[in-house]
Amino acid sequence: MDKILRQVQEQPSYAAQVLLTTAAVLRIQAGRPLHPRILDIALGFGADAIVGTLPMPVAVDAMDRARAALPPVDDTVTHGEYALLLDAIAKTV
């Protein structure tokens, strides 16, 4: 039982998993400048992959936490640079 509890506690939160998946999607075209619409699309892929089959209250909570953790989109940042930010933020949510 302790082993199972430890595994659950060590697993990233759903919000963190959404951010990490979003970062992976952004890395596909790492050198391109990031536009807010592209971030929304990548976040949508992350949401579908991680919380798409979870009960609605759990999914909504995870997405609210993930969105609240997003840094502002600056038109000088690339997909890859933003992905690095998401990786770091995912460790805190």
pLDDT of residue 54: 96
pLDDT of residue 5: 66
Distances (CA, A) of 62 to 3, 10, 40: 25, 17, 15
pLDDT of residue 1: 64
pLDDT of residue 75: 81
pTM here? 0.90
pLDDT of residue 74: 86
Give the start-to-end residue ranges of the domains of the chain: 10-90
pLDDT of residue 11: 86
What are the average pLDDT values for consecutive 10-residue runs of the chain, which has 93 residues?
70 96 98 96 97 96 97 93 98 94
Distances (CA, A) of 17 to 1, 11, 32, 35: 24, 9, 23, 22
